[in-house]
Amino acid sequence: MMLVLIKNALILPIDDAMSVIDNGYVHIDGDTIVAAGAGAAPEIPNAEIIDADGDLVMPGMVNPHCHMAMTLFRGLGEDVDDRLYRYVLPMERKFVTPEMVRVGTELAALELIEAGVTTVADMYYFETEVGRVVDRAGFRGVVGQTIADFNPPDHKTIDEGFALAEQLVAEFAGHDRVIPSIAPHAPYSTDIAVMNRVARWAEDHPDVPVQIHLAEMDSEMEWCAKNHGMRPVEVVDKAGLLRKGLICAHCLHVNESDIAKMAHAQVCVAHNARSNAKAGRGIAPVEAMRKAGIPVGIATDGPMSGNTLDLFSQFAPVTMFQKLLGHSRKPMPAVDVIRMATIEGARVLGLDRKLGSLEPGKKADLIRIDLSAPRMQPVYDIYASLMFSAMPVDVRDVMVAGKWLMRGREVLSLERRKVMRDALQIAGQFKAEMARIDAAG
């Protein structure tokens, strides 16, 4: 078993008190944290000793909603209003293969590890391929096989969709880091009977988290009103899917009654601040949901919608939007934002007993952050510095389950040059296809 002792670190354990430990240590045995504390580090024979030289050590971050493989679509048609129907859907139908999913997910993995994100919830197609990349790259993933009615690239029928979910479960059952998940796409794109089938399937698979897009768009509100005379949260409830642990992405359009239903059902929310705002869709009532007891994590959405996959870029928008809604400096203080990025994000994924803090018995998922950039100094309040000044490049080292995935900003678990080369090769095909579409008018 590998023993590691990190000492001389500024430690944020993300315990209930949100302690800040100057000159602390973390003791790791195999994939587990034995102790994290202040004062003189214990003597641990045969341990690898890391002198953090005053750098910050905190839990790895949790990104609870992503479509990793869509890195390959990042920035495509950014200012084109009908980009979804003009480019994305036709191109997904043409290009989404297990190989494309592998390449896009590897590019995402590189970015995520470099940014100190150690756990991601993903929803896409050929999700078994996503699980394989997460496995090889060494981080954690809740990998969700999409189920949808719109003839998605990997299943022509709902039966085929469930078969893919079964295959995913079979391949990763019992895996410590890759957690199979099922993802009915959204109330407007997955029939109520299909959502109900997912709910029943999930009863038979109690360890498989369910993810869904929910209450994201005006058009979704209109569709649900027209087709069901209901709000999206009510449609999902009617389908029997508003159940404990459901990971709901977005939740912009939720009123008091929806929030009460969601809290009662013990669902969780993945908040996608930048993605929602970029589309002009609005601001999710995060403070209201959290006050109702709903755990809310900070997510990036897919890179086509949110561009980057790091949480640092989300922190300022997350707090600014709630401050704008509250017309005050007070809402969503820095400690709340950093909790959402770590332990609360873990709770959203049902993993808070296993990760999200540096406490004895937790998995050794941690990151080391360099505070020396001029923009980071001085530090009066380390949480404020993380929220408003830190950037992905400040992450120096990343450990997941006791293994180093990055040291001194070099990702150890992926071949960077090959990942980039493969991604650019596929991007070249996408560019050619865009030109073809544009030429066709």
> Which positions touch its own copies (CB under 8 A)?
71-72, 74-79, 81, 107, 110-111, 114-115, 274, 277-283, 307-310, 313, 316-317, 319-321, 323-324, 326-331, 333-335, 372-375, 377-381, 383-385, 388-389, 391-393, 416, 419-420, 423-424, 427, 430-431, 434
* DSSP-based three-state secondary structure for 286: helix
DSSP 183: E
Please identify, using beta-carbon distances, which residue of 44 and 434 lies nearer to its own copies: 434
Minimum Å distance from CB 76 to its own copies? 4
Task: Report, in Å, the least distance between residue 309 CB and its own copies.
Answer: 7
Query: CA distances (Å), 110 to each of 47, 176, 323, in order?
Result: 28, 20, 33
> In the complex with its own copies, which residue's Cβ is closer, 41 or 423?
423
Q: What is the rounded distance in angstroms from the CA atom of residue 360 to the CA atom of residue 25?
A: 12
Toward its own copies, which CB reaches closer, 189 or 300?
A: 300
Kindly tell me which of 65 and 363 has the beta carbon lying closer to its own copies: 65
Query: Least distance to its own copies from the beta carbon of 310, Å?
Result: 7
Nearest distance, CB of residue 363 and its own copies, angstroms: 25
What DSSP string describes 202-262? HHH-TTS-BEEEES--HHHHHHHHHHHSS-HHHHHHHTT---TT-EEEE--S--HHHHHHH
Nearest CB to its own copies, comparing residues 62 and 113: 113
Structure tokens at 221: 């509100």
- Sort 44 into a burial class: Cβ within 10 Å, 0-12 / 13-18 / 19+: middle
Cβ contact 165:209 at 8 Å: no
Evaluate the omega torsion of the peptide bond into residue 378 and state whether it is cis, within 30 degrees of 0.
Answer: yes
Amino acid 396 reads R
Nearest approach in angstroms of CB 126 to its own copies is 20
Comparing CB distances to its own copies, the nearer of 355 and 376 is 376
Q: Which is nearer to its own copies, 49 or 424 (CB)?
A: 424
Cβ 207 to its own copies shortest distance, Å: 32
Residue number with CB closer to its own copies (223 or 388) = 388
Closest distance to its own copies from the beta carbon of 303 (Å): 8
Distance of CA 185 to the CA centre of its chain: 16
DSSP per-residue codes, 319-372: HHHHHHHHTSS-SS-HHHHHHHHTHHHHHHTT-TTTSSS--TTSB--EEEE---
166 CB burial (10 A radius; 0-12, 13-18, 19+): middle
Distance between CA 426 and CA 410 in Å, rounded? 24
Query: Whose Cβ is closer to its own copies: residue 50's or residue 68's?
Result: 68
Tell me whether residue 229 or residue 380 sits nearer to its own copies (CB atom).
Answer: 380
Residue 236 phi, psi dihedral angles, 5° rounding? -65, -35
Smallest gap from residue 279 Cβ to its own copies (A): 6
Distance between CA 398 and CA 423 in Å, rounded?
A: 23
- CB of residue 329 to its own copies, shortest distance in Å: 5
The C-alpha angle 90, 423, 145, rounded to 5 degrees, equals 60
CB of 276 to its own copies, least distance (A): 9
Residue identified by tokens 């003189």 is 40
